[in-house]
Structure 1
Amino acid sequence: MSDSSVHPDHLKRSLSNRHLQLIAIGGAIGTGLFMGSGKTINLAGPSILLVYLIIGIMLFFVMRAMGELLLSNLEYKSFIDFSTDLLGPWAGFFCGWTYWFCWIITAIADVIAIAAYAQFWFPGLAPWIPAVMCVVLLLCLNLVTVKLFGEMEFWFALIKIVAICALIVTGLGMVAWGFQSPSGHVASLSNLWSDGGLFPTGIAGFFAGFQIAVFAFVGIEVVGTTAAETANPERNLPKAINSIPVRIMLFYVLALVAIMAVTPWREVVPGKSPFVELFVLAGIPAAASLINFVVLTSATSSANSGIFSTSRMLYGLAQEDHAPKSFALLSRAAVPSRGLLFSCLCLLAGAMLVYVIPNLVTAFTLITTLAAVLFMFVWSLILFAYIAYRRKRPHLHEASKFKMPGGVAMCYACLVFFAFVLVLLTLQADTRQALMASPVWFVLLGIGYLWRQRRGVALEAGSA
């Protein structure tokens, strides 16, 4: 029996269309929608609907560019591969390690959120216990098979979808019945424009909404890291990507319409989840517990996506010689187990650090802003790779059955939009600090890349 039959040398295509659709939906619905929507409504008023729509449309085009690239060559396992192929080794190195770092930061935020949500039911429990338990559980489940990851994401995403659909149906039902709140407000769609119009906080409030809303969409590209493990990618990837606009309309726009129709935007409290508040108004006493459960599964789902994505990124980086070769070794279940272990150790170290240094909690806005800046860097690299692909491989574009609408012109429009969001991040003190800190990561990456290049030259000289 050969060793390769015990330890496979490639990832298996174990994710079905059902898994992929729900992974894509889970990626598009962040915890930010459940917890951050109160703050965004308070900042921008009803114009927040436009904010989510604009960001969603722009990211749909990024996903379409990614889809065309992944399907142009089925040897591409993720966006590291096409970045390296079309832009050069530096792009694969910067893209892969930045994406890995993005998800470690995001997963640290999720694990800390899980610890906080667990205290809702177990107030006496030390916060590090649920944090460690969550990481160990996700590590064990991810080590078993890729199909189990898909299965977990399927059920996690399903819980989120059911909660949002319940909110939309409840909210629109309250509007239909003319529900009157204890404060005297009648539920009506006119609440969307009757108090100061669509832009009640002016253009400044509208722009401020973008800063937080971008965070809600991080993870939308996870579907691109599943390409090598997707059964029948030519059929299933386009299906998952094309359903993104429908999801954004349904989950973001309709949910926010339901919330603001029942509770006028001025009454929405930034510090509370408007999801809980709506169910409480509807007279559902277990609302807080129910939504706490949903948000807990949402954060677990995001951490699960993070652990999956980071291990696949390390696998891709190792194959391109951008990371230690040991990360390219697969377990008997065709899972990059060493990458999984390394990512989980980094995740635990980051989560533990917050309990050692309490001040880090106050710096958390900076860390999540930093993650959003770095995610935009990865999305931009996908667009630059697409522009290079259209220049270098026009024949593949002609043959493509999944062409990106708008092509190169749309890529430039998306890049201009990301530059605009970066400018908006300079308007607030906390987001400005995170933006100023982001070059440090790229300097460290640059040093790492130069060291790797020199080591490669030295090894070649030694072998000669």
Structure 2
Amino acid sequence: MGQQGLKKDLASRHVQLIAIGGTIGTGLFLGSGKAIQLAGPSIIFAYLIVGIALFFVMRALGELLLSKAGYQSFTDIAQDYLGPRIAFVTGWTYWFCWIMTAMADIIAVGVYVRYWFDIPQWIPAVICLIILLGLNLLTVKLFGELEFWFALIKVITILLLIGIGVIMLVMGSKTDAGMVTMNNLWEHGGLFPNGISGFLLSFQMVVFAYVGVELVGVSAAETANPEKNIPAAINKIPFRILLFYVGALIVLLSINPWTELNAAESPFVKTFSLVGIPLAAGIINFVVLTSAASACNSGMFSTSRILYNLSNNGQASSQLAKLNKNHVPGNALWISTIVVSVGALLSKFIPEQAFGIVTTISAICFIWVWSVILICHIRYKKGRPQLRAKSTFKAPFTPFVNYVVLVMFAVILVIMMVAEETRPALLLTPLWFVLLFTLYSYRRKREQNIKLSA
């Protein structure tokens, strides 16, 4: 069955676009409307702050991945620096993160298709899932190609918006919402119209917008030249944040005063309508459809690789480590797909509440994963100075910046507890961790009993 290992078929352009796809997602296209209503123009600072923090997380991850040739993902790193218990919890939590995200995105695909065709939303959702499964089973190169084109659509859309916005700003254009001017950023209640509280409450959606930024780390095992491609992808993250998030939001809020935007709709749809592009709603609906499909595609890729690594580390069934003839972990891919499809069926009974709960749980679990990366890097720098000395991709300002980002994550969790909308999900999430720690203790005890009886 071709068990030699995962095939290194991701080229430089694949890794670069996977990284871009990981930093442009549903959180920006759909979630930014709600975030803007909470924070007003200060949302720009929220995206910038979280983006900078995650750049430092990625630099830490990049240095760790390149410090040892055997690392295939950050679960291997957690095993090395924090032990098998934390590795077990982190690996399964990362799988859970993407399962939750993929559930939300596959349902979104069905909703978006209904914009054009009046059919039950589960039909296009299932069709999309089957297509993505089939393509992912064939070869990792197809995953790279899918993400390349999905990400390209996102990039073109945002660049088009920014380009048109800059032209309108220079020309002093006028729309139904008023003059297109950067004064709109501060003339409607100031930069912080809802105060610091509104600014802080927006962080949950902002964190979810960056979910997937670490996917370049998951793809490390299947990158043809990790020493070159991973640093190149990570070092371009700040530019992408400034362009795709900060730049896009400045243009959006210059064309549309934040008071004119509706939390229930995409600000991108609203903006394209105002700039006079025909069929704007249909165009953006297609973009968010591909964005949702892209996120689900990334979810299927990452969850299958996480299960593969968990199996190789003895933390999941050995059947999940089996590769098909195309060097793809087929069993792991099938399991993840089945769980996502079951979740989609369940969530259709509470579609409005399900999406909010699922995305909040996903954001909380990603904070765990990112925190583990930072803590591992702290241990790496203190405990293995010889590896640090040889590193050609040193993370800057460490360990100080690691502690700063960890404190920021803790503050965001406190904010989620204070906010009524996110509190239920925050209170539910610890049950997942209790389950994992319990399962690990059970597995460990069972293994010890087997050894004793032998």
TM-score, normalised relative to structure 2:
0.98
Q: Check if 1:174 corresponds to 2:168.
A: yes
Tell me the SS of whatever aligns to 1:406. Answer: coil
Tell me the SS of whatever aligns to 2:193. Answer: coil
Contact 2:82/2:376 (8 A) holds in 1: yes
The CA distance in 2 between the partners of 1:257 and 1:430, in whole Å, is 27
The CA distance in 1 between the partners of 2:239 and 2:42, in whole Å, is 19
**2:282 counterpart letter in structure 1:** S
Partner of 2:58: 63
Which of residues 331, 343, 350 is equivalent to 1:350? Answer: 343
Q: Check if 1:252 corresponds to 2:245.
A: yes
**1:385 counterpart letter in structure 2:** C
Partner of 1:337: 330
The CA distance in 2 between the partners of 1:163 and 1:192, in whole Å, is 22
Tell me the SS of whatever aligns to 2:323. Answer: coil
Question: Could you tell me how far 1:74 is from its partner in structure 2?
Answer: 1.5
Contact 2:175/2:275 (8 A) holds in 1: no
Tell me the SS of whatever aligns to 1:15. Answer: coil
Superposed CA RMSD in Å reads 1.0
Partner of 2:438: 447
Q: Check if 1:400 corresponds to 2:391.
A: yes
Measured against aligned partners, the alpha-carbon deviations of 1:306-349 in whole angstroms (never above 9, x if no partner) come to 00000000000001100000111111111000000000000111
Contact 2:61/2:377 (8 A) holds in 1: yes
Measured against aligned partners, the alpha-carbon deviations of 1:12-61 in whole angstroms (never above 9, x if no partner) come to 21101100000000011111111111111121111111000000000000
Which of residues 93, 101, 110 is equivalent to 1:98? Answer: 93
**2:120 counterpart letter in structure 1:** A
**1:377 counterpart letter in structure 2:** W
The CA distance in 1 between the partners of 2:364 and 2:176, in whole Å, is 42
**2:145 counterpart letter in structure 1:** E
Contact 2:9/2:140 (8 A) holds in 1: yes
Which of residues 133, 142, 154 is equivalent to 2:136? Answer: 142
**2:38 counterpart letter in structure 1:** L
The CA distance in 2 between the partners of 1:428 and 1:409, in whole Å, is 29
Contact 1:72/1:396 (8 A) holds in 2: yes
Partner of 1:38: 33
Tell me the SS of whatever aligns to 2:417. Answer: coil
Q: Check if 1:85 corresponds to 2:80.
A: yes
Partner of 2:155: 161
Partner of 1:3: none
Structure 1: tracts of 5 or more residues without a match:
1-5
Measured against aligned partners, the alpha-carbon deviations of 1:120-157 in whole angstroms (never above 9, x if no partner) come to 0112x111101111111000000000111001100000
The CA distance in 2 between the partners of 1:291 and 1:239, in whole Å, is 30
Partner of 1:459: 450
Contact 2:204/2:363 (8 A) holds in 1: no
Q: State percent identity of aligned pairs.
A: 52
Which of residues 321, 326, 351 is equivalent to 2:319? Answer: 326
Structure 2: tracts of 5 or more residues without a match:
none
Question: Could you tell me how far 1:360 is from its partner in structure 2?
Answer: 5.1
Partner of 2:352: 361
Measured against aligned partners, the alpha-carbon deviations of 1:359-401 in whole angstroms (never above 9, x if no partner) come to 3532331221011001100100111111111122111001101
Q: Check if 1:384 corresponds to 2:375.
A: yes
Question: Could you tell me how far 1:8 is from its partner in structure 2?
Answer: 2.6
Question: Could you tell me how far 1:433 is from its partner in structure 2?
Answer: 0.9
Query: How many residues are aligned here?
Result: 454
Q: Check if 1:117 corresponds to 2:112.
A: yes
Measured against aligned partners, the alpha-carbon deviations of 1:415-463 in whole angstroms (never above 9, x if no partner) come to 0010010011122212011111111001110111011101211221232
Partner of 2:205: 212
Measured against aligned partners, the alpha-carbon deviations of 1:267-310 in whole angstroms (never above 9, x if no partner) come to 11211211111111111121111101100000000000000000
Partner of 1:288: 281
Question: Could you tell me how far 1:9 is from its partner in structure 2?
Answer: 2.6
Larger mean CA deviation between 191-200 and 142-151 belongs to: 191-200
**1:169 counterpart letter in structure 2:** G
Partner of 2:408: 417
Tell me the SS of whatever aligns to 1:260. Answer: helix
Measured against aligned partners, the alpha-carbon deviations of 1:208-241 in whole angstroms (never above 9, x if no partner) come to 1112111100011111101110011001100000
The CA distance in 2 between the partners of 1:19 and 1:436, in whole Å, is 38
Runs of 4+ in 1 over 3 A off after TM superposition: none
The CA distance in 1 between the partners of 2:201 and 2:84, in whole Å, is 37
Question: Could you tell me how far 1:182 is from its partner in structure 2?
Answer: 2.5
Q: Check if 1:268 corresponds to 2:268.
A: no
